[in-house]
């Protein structure tokens, strides 16, 4: 997606803080402060801070950043511990879902226009027991033709708008509900529409992705355990 930056940096405060280490990213200008903005700011900082740019696109890449940050901060053992804890939670979710029926999922990262999920999210859907019909693991999110959703006939629709809270996402829901064929989708007919805080849970490559995965698994369990929707 292409958006104007949503963030500005307080250069006076940044100078006063005199950071030793600055973490930045270039994946998305909506989810966090863009890399170019940080580069411009640190050019005037005295003394110079170490800058670590993080751009993971998969869960393994996300966990690697735990190790990179911990190493840069001089506490490598904390990174290793965090990585182990994260993978333990992921494995528990995967084990619980591996023998259960797969749920057809449309995971949207944006509503108007619709965008399919990308990066680590298709991988998370699979671990939680779903099949994501539009995104490609490790690849960026992409604009989604509505006909693709209609053809997929998802049993669950998960909405985690990049950079948006639940409240802000709900403001845009009428735009999605106005799409042709919306009310005929199995997920809509069954009430299996799940909206969450994109910026808090799915958009950022952080340890909180474990929370997001566990939440997603609960949602898909609810879909599997519900009575099937009657046709007609």
Please state, as a whole number, how many other Cβ atoms lie within 10 Å of the Cβ of residue 20: 12
- Whole-angstrom distance, CA of residue 210 vs CA of residue 208: 5
Q: Are residues 99 and 34 in the same domain?
A: no
Is residue 230 one of the residues assigned to a domain?
no
Is residue 86 one of the residues assigned to a domain?
no
Is residue 121 one of the residues assigned to a domain?
yes
| Whole-number CA gyration radius for the chain | 19
Is residue 49 one of the residues assigned to a domain?
yes
- Number of domains the chain contains: 2
Q: Are residues 107 and 194 in the same domain?
A: yes
Query: Which residue in the block uniquely carries the two structure tokens 């629709």?
Result: 157
Q: Are residues 111 and 47 in the same domain?
A: no
Residue 25 per-residue DSSP state? B
Q: Are residues 149 and 203 in the same domain?
A: yes
Closest CA to 198 of 167, 230, 231, 232: 167
Query: Which residue in the block uniquely carries the two structure tokens 């779903």?
Result: 130
Is residue 80 one of the residues assigned to a domain?
no
Is residue 81 one of the residues assigned to a domain?
no
The predicted pLDDT at position 3 comes to 46
Q: Quick one: how far is CA 189 from the chain centroid?
A: 25
Please tell me the pTM assigned to this model.
Answer: 0.86
Residue 183 per-residue DSSP state? G
| β 130-132/103-110 pair status | parallel
Inter-residue contact 107 to 73 (CB < 8 Å): no
Q: Are residues 139 and 212 in the same domain?
A: yes
From start to end of the chain, where are the E strands? 21-24, 50-53, 103-110, 115-116, 130-132, 142-143, 156-159, 193-195
Closest CA to 64 of 30, 48, 87: 87
Q: Are residues 106 and 191 in the same domain?
A: yes
Q: Tell me the residue range of the domain where 21 lies.
A: 1-55
Q: Are residues 46 and 98 in the same domain?
A: no
Q: What are phi and psi of 59, to 5 degrees?
A: -60, -40
Q: What is the mean pLDDT of each run of 10 residues along the chain (232 residues)?
A: 58 80 73 66 72 92 98 97 98 96 97 96 98 96 97 98 92 97 98 95 94 98 76 36
Inter-residue contact 49 to 16 (CB < 8 Å): no
Is residue 155 one of the residues assigned to a domain?
yes
The predicted pLDDT at position 28 comes to 61
């Amino acid at each position: 997606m292409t958006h104007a930056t949503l963030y500005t940096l307080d250069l006076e405060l940044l100078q006063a803080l005199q950071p030793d280490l600055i973490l930045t990213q270039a994946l998305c200008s909506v989810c966090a402060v863009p890399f170019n903005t940080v580069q411009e700011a640190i050019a005037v900082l005295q003394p110079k801070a170490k800058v670590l740019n993080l751009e993971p696109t998969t869960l393994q890449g996300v966990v690697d950043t735990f190790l990179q940050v911990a190493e840069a901060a001089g506490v490598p053992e904390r990174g290793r511990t965090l990585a182990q804890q994260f993978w333990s939670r992921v494995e528990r979710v995967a084990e619980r879902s591996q023998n259960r029926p797969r749920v057809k999922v449309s995971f949207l990262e944006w509503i108007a226009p619709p965008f399919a999920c990308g990066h680590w999210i298709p991988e998370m859907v699979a671990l939680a027991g779903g099949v994501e019909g539009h995104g490609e693991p490790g690849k960026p999110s992409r604009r989604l033709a509505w006909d693709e959703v209609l053809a997929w006939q998802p049993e669950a629709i998960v909405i985690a708008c990049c950079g948006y809270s639940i409240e802000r996402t709900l403001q845009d829901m009428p735009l999605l509900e106005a799409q042709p064929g919306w009310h005929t989708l199995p997920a809509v007919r069954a009430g299996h529409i799940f909206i969450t805080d994109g910026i808090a849970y799915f958009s950022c490559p952080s340890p909180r992705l474990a929370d997001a995965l566990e939440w997603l698994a609960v949602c898909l369990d609810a879909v599997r355990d519900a009575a099937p929707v009657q046709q007609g």
